[in-house]
A and B are shown apart, each in its own frame.
Chain A
Amino acid sequence: MKIREVVELLNAKVVSGHQHLDASVEYCFASDLMSDVLTVETDNLLLLTGLANLQTIRTSEMSDITKIIFVRRKKATDEMIRLAVENEILLIECDYSMFKTSGILYSAGLKPVY
């Protein structure tokens, strides 16, 4: 699925990495616990999280995750956006809950990691 479709389905806002809108994504992992994210080995992963801080970006950088959606109306700070831009990470803000976001993306065909 293209990121552009994900953004439309979620009525969401892209805050960094607009150049990745035509990139494709196959898998999705939803977690607020970065310790869990750091155990995932799957590539080409979209991260859904309600944890919006610098460590979300750092964790993604280390895990080779280049696409993050913040759910529950969480906003990326300027410092988070700067770090995301430096690491070519796409950041999307979404007003929906984690459950609703997960349901929409699962129905649209994104695969779970396990």
Chain B
Amino acid sequence: MHFEFNVEGGNFSKAGAASSQLKKILKQLNVDPKIIKRIVVALYEAEVNIVAHAYHGVIFIDIDTEKIEIKLVDEGPGIPDIELAMQQGYSTASASVREMGFGAGMGLPNIKNNSDELRITSEVNKGTTVVLITYLNS
């Protein structure tokens, strides 16, 4: 199964819409609720990152019997130092993002905790690609 969702940068009123859709799909597929929670928490953090930092993004989701692979591709400022961005507490979020309850430098570490595989590639002034893989039988 393949799904795609567009994400608008800066629009917090729609942030989480894709994660919400995926949660409904996984429930219908009778995926273990604990695995659903891990997947949607990781995706929601990544979706909020696009809204908070990028101009536009697309989420590609592939589901098979073994795993769920999610690829988030955004057009945005990119991440100059991914290792630094992965550190707990490091954030470049704006004041408006913090007002929404985010931007504490916890998103990327939490995505890592809630996925089995995480790959981040980024090019400054071009964009960032995040790949999350969760195995359904782990």
| The stretch of B2-10, B57-65, B103-111, B115-123 that contacts the partner chain | B103-111
Chain A neighbourhood of B44, CB < 8 A: 38, 58-59, 62
B102 contacts A55, CB within 8 Å? Answer: yes
Per the 8 Å Cβ criterion, residues 8-45 of B in contact with A are: 12-13, 15-16, 19-20, 23, 33, 37, 40-41, 44-45
Interface residues on A, range: 20 to 34
Size bracket of the B interface = 20 to 34
In angstroms, Cα B104 to Cα A55, docked, is: 15
Chain B residues with CB under 8 Å of A79's CB are: 13
| Residue A61, interface by CB 8 Å | yes
How many angstroms between the C-alpha atoms of A62 and B107 in the bound complex? 14
Say whether chain B's binding surface is mostly helix, strand, loop, or mixed: helix
Q: Among B20, B48, B106, which residue has its beta carbon within 8 angstroms of that of A61? A: B20
Known contacts A39-B110, A64-B33: does B101 contact A53 (CB below 8 Å)? yes
Chain A residue at smallest Cβ distance from B22: A62
What B residues does A53 contact at CB under 8 A? 12, 100-101
Q: A35-B110, A55-B12, A58-B20 are in contact. Are A64 and B104 (CB under 8 A)?
A: no
Closest to A39 in B: B110
Question: In angstroms, how far is the closest chain A Cβ from the Cβ of B45?
Answer: 6
Instruction: Assess whether A51 is interfacial by the CB under 8 Å rule.
Output: yes
B96 to A: closest C-beta gap in Å: 11
- 5 of the cross-chain contacts (CB-CB < 8 Å) are A32-B101, A33-B104, A34-B100, A54-B16, A64-B37
State the 5 A-B residue pairs at the shortest beta-carbon distance, nearest first: A34-B101, A58-B16, A35-B106, A35-B104, A62-B44
- Give residues in A with beta carbon < 8 Å to B: 32-39, 51, 53-56, 58-59, 61-64, 79
Known pairs A36-B104, A58-B44, A62-B40; list 16 more (Cβ under 8 Å).
A35-B110, A38-B41, A38-B44, A38-B106, A39-B106, A54-B16, A55-B15, A55-B100, A58-B15, A58-B20, A59-B16, A62-B16, A62-B37, A63-B37, A63-B41, A64-B37
